[in-house]
A and B are shown apart, each in its own frame.
Chain A
Amino acid sequence: MSDRRKKVLAISSGGGHWVQLLRLRPAFDSSDVVYATVRDGYREDIGNADFRLIHDANRWNKLKLLRCAASVFVLILRERPDIVISTGAAPGYFGVRFGKWMGARVIWVDSIANAEELSMSGRKAGEFVDLWLTQWQHLARENGPQWMGSIL
């Protein structure tokens, strides 16, 4: 068992997704973290930690989605994280998808805003992620997602 610090890529889109990702910071205490998100202004939220900018997108604009996927793909190739964690949305989905392909262990934390049902990317991520989480206990199922509390 290696004592090397693991490299975590924490990736999300902006707004509430980013705010929730930040609230998970204590979980990364024993790791080296790289944060990736869609607005440069968020850089100051993470102090001295490594920060990478990726293209934003949502599923209603296919061209932007492609650009987003490409930027995340390049990011994963460069960073080679051991672990990828995301709170959504589309950029985060690409993060866990490509991360998994490249051998990382990946975690999906569905946004707390999805209180009635899982997000679409959350449902898709459930097909392959290693830790699949919802923040609402009533949405947990036997085959996943699991509930382990929330960002509140």
Chain B
Amino acid sequence: MILVTVGTDLPFDRMVKIVDAWARERERCDVFAQIGEGGWKPEYIRYSEFLQPDDFKNYFKLASVVISHAGMGTILSALLHGKPILVMPKLAKLGEHRNEHQTATAIRMKEFGNVNVAFDELELRMWLDNLDQLAPSRQIDSFASQQLVEGIGTFIRQA
């Protein structure tokens, strides 16, 4: 199953439209999209605007691939669960987000975590036809770095 998610903030119609068109062309019935409140409604793939956290977790577990906006929450979940993830940054200049940090996040996490990135519609289409080529995520463990945990823990104890 391919899980598509746009995050809990603003929709991401640009990405969803491409995936919907691709799924129709390839007759893929195994795609589910969380499209966000007020998001464009797909014509072919199954979708919901909204997923409760535990439903999201279930879909996440079942997915073989996650296609997502470049949001830190989804990226961290993918790394935690070792799911291959393909992200596309939302662009503030297109009104998809409030600032351009998703592009920077995508670049950094590509480097750190083997997150696959489609910077534009063309790259997204190319990846969709080559999902088996997605790099697997770097596995991370459940908690923050020792350094940060100790730094904060010490501050709390001495406060």
Contact = CB atoms under 8 A, between A and B. Distances in A.
A26 B143 contact: yes
Contacts of A14: 8, 73
Contacts of B104: 115-116
Contact of B148 (A31, A44, A58, A150): A150
A71 to B, nearest CB: 18
Interface residues of A, number: 46
Interface of A is mostly: loop
A133 to B, nearest CB: 8
Interface stretch (B16-24, B115-123, B151-159): B151-159
Contacts of A152: 112-113, 140, 144-145
Interface of B is mostly: helix
B101 interface: yes
Contacts of A30: 153, 156-157
Interface string A106-124: 0101011111100000000
A16 B145 contact: no
A81 to B, nearest CB: 11
A151 B8 contact: no
A131 B149 contact: no
A53 B109 CA distance: 31
Interface residues of B, number: 38
Contacts of B76: 16, 19-20, 23, 151
Interface string B12-56: 000000000000000000000000000000000000000011100
Contacts of A148: 147-148, 151-152
7 contacts: A6-B156, A8-B156, A20-B72, A23-B143, A29-B153, A148-B152, A152-B144
Given A39-B8, A41-B54, A115-B104, 18 more contacts: A15-B73, A19-B73, A19-B76, A24-B144, A26-B153, A27-B148, A27-B150, A28-B153, A42-B53, A45-B53, A105-B155, A105-B159, A107-B155, A113-B101, A113-B102, A148-B147, A150-B148, A151-B148
